[in-house]
C-alpha cells in the first residue's frame, strides 16, 4: 500500500526518484553557492507563531483576493521554466490542478507547453509571465498572444536581464529535450514513468518560442537564440510601454529593494512580487521573507504586495501574510508534486498547503485569513518600524 502524502517534502522525495536528474536539478537548485536559495527556506523557520486557545474555531475561511480576483486561499502557482520537462504536458496539468483548487496558475515565457496549448486544454483563465527579449517584435507578440488567449493578468519579470550561473545546469549539460549522451541515456533508463509519459506528447521544446521567433526554428538555433535574447537594457520606460500595450492587470516580479518597490508602485502596476527568483539569480541576496517587511512599509498602502521564495508549507503562507504579503506564489512546491505524480501531485501539494494553512490559522486563534496580521507572531526577526515621514 502506498504511503500517504502528508507534506510537500514527501512529494519532493518522490520527484527526486522519478524525474531525470538534469530536470530535477534544474528545479531544485540556486545560483553559485546556493546561499540565497537556502536562506529562502531557512528564514521562514526563524519566525515563531503565537498559539491561542479557548476561542471559537468553527466556520474558518481562507478565501481572499489577488489583484481583485477571488481565490480560495492566498496562493498562486508561480511561473516556472521547463515545467513540461518535470512531467509531460506539465503546464497543462498544473493549470488544471490550480483551477480545481481555485488558485491562479502563471505560465512562464520559457514553458514547454505554449500559451495556446494551455488555453486550448484548460477551462479556467490563467496568467502569463513575460521575459523581455531584445527582439521587441517577439515580445510584443507574446503580449498579444496572451491577450488573445484570455489571460487575466501579465506578470512582468524584471530580475532576469542577464542569467545567473547555476552550476548544476552546467554540469548536467541541461538541454530540452535531453541530449542523447551516454550519461543521459543511463539516467533515463532509471525513469521509466517519465519516459513513458514523455513519449505520449509532442510538446518537448519551448513552444512559446519555436515557430514564433525569427532564428529559433529548431533545437540548435533555439539554444543560441535564447542565450542572446534576454534584454539587459530593460528599464522603467520599457515597463511603461509594456503596461500600455497589455492594457490589463499588471504584476511586477523580482523586487527586493524598497527603492525599486517605490518605482514599481509609481509605474501603475496592480501588484509587485517580492522575489529573488528562488535564489537562482543573485547569490548572496537576502531572502524574500526578510525583504518583505521593509517593502510593505514602503509601498504597502500604494500597491498590492505579493511574495515568493522558499514557500513549502501552509505555515510559510501564514507567516508571509502576517508580515504583510497579500498572497504568495509556490514554484518548487508544485513542481515536486508535478514530477512525482502529475496533475494529482500538484493537487496534493495544494491540498497539503491548504490543510497546513487552515490548521495553523486555527491554532493562532483566527477563523478568517483576512484577519491575519503580525499579532499572530511570537518572534519576528524581520520586523521593521513604521515608515519615516519625508
The C-alpha torsion from 31 through 34 and 35 to 38, rounded to 10°, is 120
Other beta carbons within 10 Å of 125: 16
Tell whether 80 is in a known binding site. yes
Tell whether 131 is in a known binding site. yes
Tell whether 68 is in a known binding site. no
Tell whether 167 is in a known binding site. no
User: What stretches of 14-74 adopt beta strand conformation (E)?
Assistant: 48-49, 64-66, 69-71
Tell whether 60 is in a known binding site. no
Contacts of 210 by beta carbon, 8 Å cutoff, 6+ apart: 216, 217, 218, 222
Tell whether 312 is in a known binding site. yes
Give, as one character, the DSSP assignment of residue 133.
B
Tell whether 360 is in a known binding site. no
Tell whether 79 is in a known binding site. yes
- The b-or-e profile of 195-222 (16+ CB within 10 A means b, else e) is eeebeebebbbbbbbbebbeebeeeeeb
Residue carrying C-alpha cell 517519465: 194
Tell whether 332 is in a known binding site. yes
Tell whether 365 is in a known binding site. no
**347 grid coordinates:** 493537487
Contacts of 133 by beta carbon, 8 Å cutoff, 6+ apart: 139, 213, 229, 230, 231
Burial of residue 379, with CB atoms counted within 10 A of its CB: 0-12 exposed, 13-18 middle, 19 or more buried:
exposed
User: What stretches of the chain adopt beta strand conformation (E)?
Assistant: 48-49, 64-66, 69-71, 75-77, 106-107, 127-130, 154-157, 250-255, 271-274, 304-308, 327-330, 377-379
Q: How far is CA 238 from the centre of its chain?
A: 23
Tell whether 329 is in a known binding site. no
Q: Which of 48, 33, 204, 186 is nearest to 114 (CA)?
A: 204
Tell whether 37 is in a known binding site. no
Tell me which of 87, 197, 212, 277 is the catalytic residue: 277
Tell whether 201 is in a known binding site. no
Tell whether 368 is in a known binding site. no
Give catalytic status of residue 167 as yes or no: no
Residue positions forming the annotated binding site for glyoxylate: 26, 131, 166, 277, 280
Q: Which residues are annotated as a binding site?
A: 26, 79-81, 108, 129, 131, 157, 166, 253, 275, 277, 280, 308-312, 331-332
User: Any idea which residues carry the catalytic annotation?
Assistant: 277
Query: Which residues does the annotation place in the binding site for FMN?
Result: 79-81, 108, 129, 157, 253, 275, 308-312, 331-332
Amino acid at each position: 500500500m502506498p504511503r500517504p502524502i502528508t507534506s510537500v517534502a514527501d512529494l519532493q522525495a518522490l520527484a527526486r526518484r522519478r524525474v531525470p536528474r538534469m530536470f530535477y536539478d534544474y528545479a531544485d537548485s540556486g545560483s553559485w553557492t546556493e546561499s540565497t536559495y537556502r536562506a529562502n527556506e531557512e528564514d521562514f523557520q526563524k519566525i515563531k507563531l503565537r498559539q491561542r486557545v479557548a476561542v471559537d474555531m468553527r466556520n474558518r475561511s481562507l478565501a481572499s483576493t489577488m489583484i481583485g480576483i477571488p481565490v480560495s486561499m492566498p496562493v498562486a502557482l508561480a511561473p516556472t521554466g521547463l515545467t513540461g520537462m518535470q512531467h509531460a504536458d506539465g503546464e497543462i496539468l498544473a493549470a488544471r490542478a490550480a483551477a480545481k483548487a481555485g488558485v491562479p496558475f502563471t505560465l512562464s515565457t520559457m514553458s514547454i507547453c505554449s500559451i495556446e496549448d494551455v488555453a486550448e486544454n484548460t477551462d479556467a483563465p490563467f496568467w502569463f509571465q513575460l521575459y523581455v527579449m531584445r527582439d521587441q517584435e517577439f515580445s510584443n507578440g507574446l503580449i498579444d498572444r496572451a491577450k488573445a488567449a484570455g489571460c487575466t493578468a501579465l506578470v512582468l519579470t524584471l530580475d532576469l536581464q542577464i542569467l545567473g550561473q547555476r552550476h548544476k545546469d552546467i554540469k548536467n549539460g541541461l538541454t530540452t529535450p535531453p541530449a542523447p549522451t551516454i550519461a543521459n541515456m543511463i539516467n533515463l533508463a532509471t525513469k521509466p514513468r517519465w519516459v513513458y509519459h514523455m513519449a505520449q506528447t509532442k510538446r518537448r521544446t519551448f513552444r512559446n518560442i519555436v515557430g514564433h521567433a525569427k532564428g529559433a526554428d529548431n533545437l540548435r538555433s533555439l539554444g543560441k537564440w535564447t542565450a542572446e535574447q534576454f534584454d539587459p537594457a530593460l528599464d522603467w520606460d520599457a515597463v511603461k510601454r509594456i503596461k500600455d500595450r497589455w492594457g490589463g492587470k499588471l504584476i511586477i516580479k523580482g523586487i527586493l529593494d524598497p527603492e525599486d518597490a517605490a518605482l514599481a508602485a509609481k509605474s501603475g502596476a496592480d501588484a509587485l512580487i517580492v522575489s529573488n527568483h528562488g535564489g537562482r539569480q543573485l547569490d548572496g541576496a537576502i531572502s524574500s521573507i526578510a525583504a518583505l517587511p521593509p517593502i510593505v512599509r514602503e509601498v504597502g498602502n500604494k500597491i498590492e504586495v505579493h511574495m515568493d521564495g522558499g514557500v513549502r508549507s501552509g505555515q510559510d503562507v501564514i507567516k508571509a501574510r502576517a508580515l504583510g504579503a497579500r498572497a504568495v506564489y509556490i514554484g518548487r512546491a508544485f513542481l515536486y508534486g508535478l514530477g512525482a505524480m502529475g496533475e494529482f501531485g500538484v493537487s496534493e501539494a495544494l491540498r497539503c498547503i491548504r490543510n497546513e494553512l487552515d490548521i495553523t490559522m486555527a491554532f493562532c486563534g483566527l477563523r478568517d485569513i483576512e484577519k491575519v496580521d503580525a499579532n499572530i507572531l511570537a518572534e519576528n526577526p524581520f520586523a521593521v518600524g513604521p515608515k519615516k515621514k519625508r
